[in-house]
Amino acid sequence: MIRAKNEPFSDLNSKLRFRTKSSRQYDILPKHVKDAVFKHENNSKGIRSIPAGPHHLLLCIVISVAIYTVLAILEKSLPEPVTISNEHNHPDRFVAERARDHLVKLTSIGPRPVGSKENEILAVKLLLDEIKLIIKQADPSHKIEWDLQTVSGSFSLQFLDGMTNVYRNVQNIVVKIGPIQTSRHSLLINCHFDSVVDSPGASDDGASCAIMLELLRVISRLKMPLKNNIIFLFNGAEENMMQASHGFITQHQWASSIRAFINMEACGAGGKEILFQVGPNHPWLLEAYSDTVPYPLASSMAQEIFQSGIIPGDTDYRIFRDFGRVSGLDFAWSANGYVYHTKLDTVDKIPLGTFQRTGDNMLPLILKLVNSVQISDVEKYSTGNLVFFDFLGIFIVHWSEVLSDIINISVIIISLLVILYNASHTHVTGFSVKDYFKSCFKCSSLNILIWLTTLFTIAVLSLTVVMLDRRLSWFAQPAWLLFLYITPTILVPMVLLVLFGRKFLWGKKGTHYPQSLMYCISRDGNQLLYIMILLLCVLLRIRSGFAVALFVTSNTISIILQNTVLNNDYGYKVLWLHWGCMLVPFMLSAYMIQAALLLVVPIMGRSGSGNHAESVMSLITSAMFTLVFSFYNPLVLLLQKVYTVFSSLAVVLLVSFLVLVFTPLGFPYSGDPNNLAPQRFMIAHVERSFYGYNGSLRDHQNGLWIVNLDVNSPHSVIRHAPELMNARQISQEECDKELYCGLPYFIPVTTFIWKTHWIDTKPLDVDIPLSLNLTYRDYRLNDVQRLSFSANGPDHITFTLSLYDGITLKDWSLNSGEPLKGPLWNGRPTYFVYYSCANDIIPWDFWIDIVVPKTHVGPQIEIGLSGHRMHGPHQYTPELKKLFNQLPQWTTTTGWASAYKSYTL
């Protein structure tokens, strides 16, 4: 159609049925006519618009991926280590090589579970020998004392399903260094030298103890005396649910002098230590960290996530905080979590630069804290918490919660004012401020629907992956997360916004409004949604709201620059301006997301087969990237040939699925020493005996109990170990019939790891002495009966208790205070008790008081007693050894012999 001479463009627009649904409508026009239409339409509304080509947005996506990749590479950078040969050039510096040498000696002892000779004798002797040598060479300006504590006690722990922790004769090595003139104030530094079963415990937590030895050496040789004391605690029972730290903080003679603490832990091997818990209160602790450490890595967001219980783990930080009423800082390595708590946790997995980085951070921080005025009067400086995060590991940003509220509220007000300005300068006839805000709120609702639809789509994709039996492809190669779940997280919102945005906001009326207005409404509606989220963070005191505030602020700056510098030129310039304004929050969020994935991905390999890891990981990943990409989605409305972007992303997704299904590239595990991602197998050889109410043996079984630690267990290795074909899943019927499914759970995790398997075998070749004797029953006042027991068994015992209907537990000798309940079983409360004896095993005697109504007839309680041989020559049976030898090199194993006895009384 050709315009006649003097024919107005408005008539031509009408003839073409020009509806501005996308820039494709102009493709039928010659270039000179198309430019004229653009000029007329946009000038008539006070704006100028030159649609951007699709390559602009695709290039933005590519550059964003490249930036993320660079950040991931930089995350692995570590400082140059100081070695013994060149330490003379670095006086008073932490020497990484000497710390690693300490760790080599400690791990050469072997695994060090509590109660083993390796932990209770050899490790203690090694550490004491090193400490005595350091004391001998110390500068005379310091007073140094040491103590070997043997301690017994008990406490309740609301961790996992909840438990009562009872310990006997666990050990602590304690060293105190301070001024010659005794101070009443001390800073505590903590590590643990014990390890889990079968693991040499290099990173968890032998390396921290090795670093502490070197820190003690450096500090002891300083000429300047300390103003207060530093107590170095080498605790010998952390893996037993933090028993030794409890014994120290509640019973040691030096514990009362502690004013603050530093806890050093690991949930991975190497990398950078992150400060993920600080406080409670006492903002001066974080300020000291910010002022002194050369390589900061910290986040209050990490603290809120960890303390929410999402991550199934805990540290001695909880013990010092809850039982010692002391505030402190909690550090942990998180890289390479694949080897955590496995045989693969060896010295060679920890780069020398990691030792140096941690030492270089800890040394100035310790000296700052111990010599500060605050530690001498901690109550004076105890008020308030801080919002904090590091910027790409360069520096720490922190402010008080009060200032955080002021900043967040200011961001909210300024952002609302900018949106109000946009509403009053619409330049669209008949479109009022009220209409603008109404449309913005509609767009906010649309965004919520888009988020829900995106998450639903991601859930469907993950279920498709499960149906195709391609689960956990991202476990060994996290890049699969980008192709399978991040790509649709970008694609789906953009498609929905283009296809349904205009109709959702305006219906048929919207065909008369320019696409640039649709962009403004979408942009400001998204901003309004995040303003409401930020306001919610303020009201609920969520410190992680700083991330939302940063995005909202950057988006506000972008809007202001669009209105002023570009003068409402809604073309490719806006696209690149907005991308540039959002670069800082994108880099920060990508930095934090990378750290989160480093932690979470390996956890999915040990979180149990019943947790639907594929769906959980896909939704977590999509949710994390939704915040980032929500602020980019409106840009798609400025594109010409937008289908090019959609088709490009769709092709990436389709090709990824084809590669996943038809090639071995999605195999989830790796035994490559340079890229370890092993599948974990925890298997116990168990003898089970069940006794009836009359004391007779009602059932007896022997078998291998396979604790499924991921969704592919145990069928993933059946072709390597054919006997696993005989493995049967523990049924719900068995769990309904027997307390804790009649299985020797080592820790209370039935709500986390409930899907397990069993293979019948011949009896154990060694006897595990395990018995529970009711020594007497004492009838007391008010229907109370006291049942006294004597339990015999190995040095690790678990005791589970459930009471029949009508019976209540009034008291027991296991711990002071009200007995801590666990999950319900058949509608009845359960109680889980963990007992360990590190030395001099004797019978475990205790009593319980139960209230039994006079009308009650029949059984009163049900008890499960488990004994675990977790070290020594009888830890492995021939059946365990045979099975483990059959498994492929991309697996790692943990095993022991166990006995379980069930009693009804």
Active site residues: 238
The three-state secondary structure class of 777 is strand
Distance CA 129, CA 146 (A): 12
Residue 67 burial by Cβ neighbours in a 10 Å radius (0-12, 13-18, 19+): middle
Yes or no: say if 888 and 720 are a contact pair by the CB < 8 Å rule. Answer: yes
Q: Which residue has the tokens 């030794």?
A: 244
Q: Which residue has the tokens 């001479």?
A: 5
Amino acid at 828: R
Yes or no: say if 705 and 743 are a contact pair by the CB < 8 Å rule. Answer: yes
Q: E strand or H helix at 403, and its extent?
A: helix 401-424
Question: DSSP strand E in 77-185: where?
Answer: 142-157, 163-179
**Which runs of consecutive H residues, i.e. helices, occur in 663-806?**
732-737
**Which runs of consecutive H residues, i.e. helices, occur in 18-53?**
31-43
CA 201 to chain centre: 20
275-292: buried (b, 16+ CB within 10 Å) or exposed (e) per residue? bbbbbeebbbbbbbbbeb
508-535: buried (b, 16+ CB within 10 Å) or exposed (e) per residue? eebeebbbbbbbbbbbbbbbbbbbebbe
Instruction: Count the Cβ atoms, other than its own, within 10 Å of residue 716.
Output: 22
Instruction: Count the Cβ atoms, other than its own, within 10 Å of residue 299.
Output: 25
Distance CA 338, CA 599 (A): 9
Yes or no: say if 166 and 237 are a contact pair by the CB < 8 Å rule. Answer: no
Q: Which residues contact 47 (CB under 8 A, 6 or more apart)?
A: 427, 514, 516, 568, 569, 570
Yes or no: say if 78 and 357 are a contact pair by the CB < 8 Å rule. Answer: yes
Cis peptide bond prior to 478, omega within 30° of 0: no
Q: In the chain, how many H helices and how many E strands?
A: 25, 21
Distance CA 224, CA 220 (A): 10
Instruction: Count the Cβ atoms, other than its own, within 10 Å of residue 487.
Output: 22
Q: Which residues contact 432 (CB under 8 A, 6 or more apart)?
A: none
Q: E strand or H helix at 665, and its extent?
A: none
Furthest CA-CA distance within the chain: 113
Structure tokens at 46: 């006070």
Question: DSSP strand E in 633-696: where?
Answer: 679-691
In sequence order, the β-bridge partners of residue 846 are 789
Half-sphere exposure of 833 (CA within 13 A, CB side): 24
Question: DSSP strand E in 528-656: where?
Answer: none
In sequence order, the β-bridge partners of residue 756 are 707
CA distances from 877 to 197, 684, 714, 764 (A): 15, 9, 20, 7
Distance CA 210, CA 869 (A): 28
Closest C-alpha to 887, from 755, 762, 722: 722
| 3-state helix/strand/coil string of 588-615 | HHHHHHHHHHHHHHHHCCCCCCCCCHHH
Q: Which residue has the tokens 């107590």?
A: 231
Distance CA 270, CA 77 (A): 11
The three-state secondary structure class of 789 is strand
